């Protein structure tokens, strides 16, 4: 609910300050309130007691109402400014109530409980020296606070009873002023706490922001990022820990990069050095294959094995060179506008797969992409389906709106489905891994083990993706998704590629040429291949192994 650390600090400081200020103000208010009311109350009651003794106590037993009225007015003329009500009995035994101001104070203003307490006579003993006592009570009249006190003159009955009514409005006004002052002080304390919280948050968050910026730069690959450390507090220790971690990470990454570069250079150099002798060996094996029918039947199988293994080795070398280009980031797109249905048909026809593949694609679906790399992807996926899943393989082409809602237009979706047993669930996450074998007991296969990984790299270079899953009715389904226009991806790669063209020691993409070989007979069909990427091989590339395949 509080998304930022600054806001949390401000809220915490404000709550602490508010709690402390309210508590202090409340305690101060109640202490002052009790002191003010007690002081005013005691002063009025003491003055009333003395006035009762001096005036009502000297009245004769047989008193007239006029005498009571004069005594009440005299009692009211004090500095305490209260009203007086005296109650007595005349010579005829009739009760008489005389007030200093009959409009402001009558017997009805005296609570019944107070009258009962004043009139009650108590036994005199060692714990109680007088039969009557002075009692008081606070009341509210017309919305204003008042103090009502009462006492009875001690003596031989009948003796008068007196009541006083004192307004506490001045004390209430003083307490209201005190409450406002405490409220203003609480508000100022809250504002001060929030300002202090801002200052504290700035002090705390400044190194945190520097640490976050340094972590972001480190995540972007700027491993030389360091923080300036000052002080000995916890944040300074955190900065020192970050610097030590960044330094260790820089050394480790440099070491791993050096090893990776050495390995990549070794593969590139090895592939490049093998290409020349492999070209010569391939030429010799083609001659041997053409003369296979004239060879001694005893050595014909050996010649056929040499031919097949030579082709496999040649494909492996070509695949390793392509993988090296991908790892080095030097593979480039050569874009062209193509009709996807024509491209798929050409891929199938070039490899004599027309009888084994069902195509569901409408002509006129245009896309701007690299046709050679699309051919590599299709050859790998279709050839892999034929090899491991069996025919008929169904290839469908459609367009869909982008799931991320981007403004680059629709995306191209190509699905390759076979009729095989499907891919084991434990194998699915690894079908695009390099040299992955589903069974450790079958470490060797006809393909190089790089076909599907190269297909995935070619999809990535277009800004696309390949996924694999098993269909509900059986068989594996590979789904290729590519943007219909890859110009933005190509421009980004061009702008972000600092190595230019072909720094891996291998041949450049535009120097590669497609070779069309007449291969061996396979079930009455000619098997042809594309030696350029390892994706147009006779088996279409192999990136997955299935149980029972």
- Omega of the bond prior to 332 within 30 degrees of 0, cis? no
The CA distance from 312 to 264, in Å, is: 21
Query: Which helix or strand (DSSP H or E) is residue 182 part of?
Result: helix 169-219
Q: Is 167 helix (H, G, I), strand (E, B) or coil?
A: strand
Which are the contacts of 92, defined by CB distance < 8 A and separation ≥ 6?
none
pLDDT, tens digit (0-9, with 9 covering 90-100), for 218-242: 888 888 888 888 878 777 888 889 8
Q: Are 375 and 345 in contact (CB under 8 A)?
A: no
Q: Which two tokens stand for residue 521?
A: 């007979």
The pLDDT of residue 546 is: 35
Which are the contacts of 379, defined by CB distance < 8 A and separation ≥ 6?
347, 351, 530, 535, 536, 537, 540, 541
The residues that bridge with 97 in the sheet, in sequence order, are 87
Tell me what the pLDDT averaged over the chain comes to.
79
The pLDDT of residue 278 is: 77
Q: Is 338 helix (H, G, I), strand (E, B) or coil?
A: strand
The pLDDT of residue 58 is: 75
Alpha-carbon distances, residue 176 vs 169, 173, 292, 294, 355 (angstroms): 10, 5, 117, 123, 100
Low-confidence ranges of the chain (pLDDT < 50): 407, 439-444, 498-549
The pLDDT of residue 435 is: 76
The pLDDT of residue 163 is: 93
Q: Quick one: CA torsion of 454, 460, 461, 464, rounded to 10 degrees?
A: 130
Phi, psi of 503 (to 5 degrees): -80, 10
Ramachandran class of 505: left when φ > 0, alpha when ψ lies in -120 to 50, beta otherwise:
left
Strands 393-400 and 357-360, by their bridges, are parallel
Where do we find the tokens 């230019």?
500
Distance of CA 423 to the CA centre of its chain: 37
Which are the contacts of 245, defined by CB distance < 8 A and separation ≥ 6?
none
Q: Which two tokens stand for residue 443?
A: 């470490």
The CA distance from 529 to 447, in Å, is: 13
pLDDT, tens digit (0-9, with 9 covering 90-100), for 253-270: 888 888 877 777 776 777
The pLDDT of residue 548 is: 31
Q: Which two tokens stand for residue 405?
A: 């809602």
Side-chain half-sphere exposure of 14, counting CA atoms within 13 A: 12
The pLDDT of residue 535 is: 40
The CA distance from 240 to 246, in Å, is: 10
Q: Which two tokens stand for residue 211?
A: 């640490």
Q: Are 419 and 475 in contact (CB under 8 A)?
A: yes
Rg, the chain, Cα only: 52
Q: Is 489 helix (H, G, I), strand (E, B) or coil?
A: helix
Q: Which two tokens stand for residue 449?
A: 């083990």
The CA distance from 421 to 269, in Å, is: 40
Q: Are 496 and 441 in contact (CB under 8 A)?
A: no
Q: Which two tokens stand for residue 146?
A: 């008042």
Phi, psi of 470 (to 5 degrees): -95, 135
The pLDDT of residue 111 is: 92
DSSP letter, residue 358: E
Q: Is 370 helix (H, G, I), strand (E, B) or coil?
A: coil
């Amino acid at each position: 609910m509080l998304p930022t650390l600054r806001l949390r600090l401000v809220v915490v400081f404000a709550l602490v300050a508010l709690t402390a200020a309210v508590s202090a103000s409340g305690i101060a208010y109640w202490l002052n309130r009790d002191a003010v009311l007690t002081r005013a109350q005691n002063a009025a009651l003491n003055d009333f007691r003395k006035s009762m003794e001096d005036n009502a106590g000297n009245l004769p037993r047989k008193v007239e109402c006029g005498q009571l009225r004069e005594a009440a007015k005299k009692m009211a003329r004090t500095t305490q400014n209260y009203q007086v009500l005296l109650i007595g009995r005349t010579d005829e035994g009739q009760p008489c109530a005389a007030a200093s101001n009959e409009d402001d104070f009558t017997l009805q203003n005296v609570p019944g409980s107070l009258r009962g307490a004043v009139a009650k006579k108590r036994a005199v003993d060692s714990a109680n020296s007088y039969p009557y006592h002075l009692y008081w009570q606070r009341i509210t009249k017309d919305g204003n606070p008042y103090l009502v006190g009462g006492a009875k003159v001690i003596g031989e009955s009948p003796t008068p009873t007196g009541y006083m009514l004192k307004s506490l409005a001045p004390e209430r006004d003083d307490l209201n002023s005190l409450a406002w002052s405490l409220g203003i002080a609480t508000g100022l304390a809250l504002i001060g706490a929030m300002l202090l919280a801002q200052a504290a948050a700035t002090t705390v968050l400044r190194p945190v922001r520097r640490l976050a910026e340094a972590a972001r730069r480190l995540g972007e690959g700027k491993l030389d990022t360091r923080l300036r450390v000052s002080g000995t507090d916890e944040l300074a220790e955190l900065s020192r820990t970050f610097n030590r971690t960044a330094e260790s990470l820089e050394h480790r990454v440099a070491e791993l990069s050096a090893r990776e570069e050495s390995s990549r250079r070794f593969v590139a150099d090895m592939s490049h050095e093998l290409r020349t002798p492999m070209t010569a060996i391939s030429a010799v094996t083609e001659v041997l294959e053409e003369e296979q029918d004239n060879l001694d039947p005893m050595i014909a199988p050996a010649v056929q094995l040499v031919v097949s293994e030579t082709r496999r080795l040649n494909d492996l070398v070509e695949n390793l060179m392509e993988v090296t280009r991908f790892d080095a980031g030097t593979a480039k797109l050569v874009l062209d506008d193509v009709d996807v249905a024509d491209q798929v048909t050409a891929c199938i026809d070039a490899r004599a797969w027309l009888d084994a593949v069902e195509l569901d694609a409408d002509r006129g679906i245009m896309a701007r992409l690299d046709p050679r790399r699309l051919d590599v992807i299709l050859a790998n996926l279709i050839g892999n389906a034929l090899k491991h899943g069996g025919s008929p393989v169904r290839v469908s082409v459609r367009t869909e709106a982008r799931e991320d809602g981007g403004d680059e237009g629709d995306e191209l979706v190509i699905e390759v489905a076979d009729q095989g047993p499907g891919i084991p669930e434990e194998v699915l996450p690894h079908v695009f891994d390099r040299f992955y074998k589903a069974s450790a007991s079958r470490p060797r296969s006809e393909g190089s083990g790089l076909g599907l990984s190269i297909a995935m790299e070619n999809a990535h270079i277009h800004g696309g993706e390949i996924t694999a899953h098993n269909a509900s009715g059986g068989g594996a389904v590979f789904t290729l998704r590519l943007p219909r226009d890859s110009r933005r991806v190509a421009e980004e790669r061009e702008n972000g590629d600092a190595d230019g063209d072909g720094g891996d020691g291998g041949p450049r993409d535009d120097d590669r040429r497609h070779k069309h070989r007449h291969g061996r007979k396979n079930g009455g069909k000619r098997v042809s291949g594309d030696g350029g990427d390892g994706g147009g091989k006779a088996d279409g590339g192999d990136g997955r192994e299935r149980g029972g395949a």
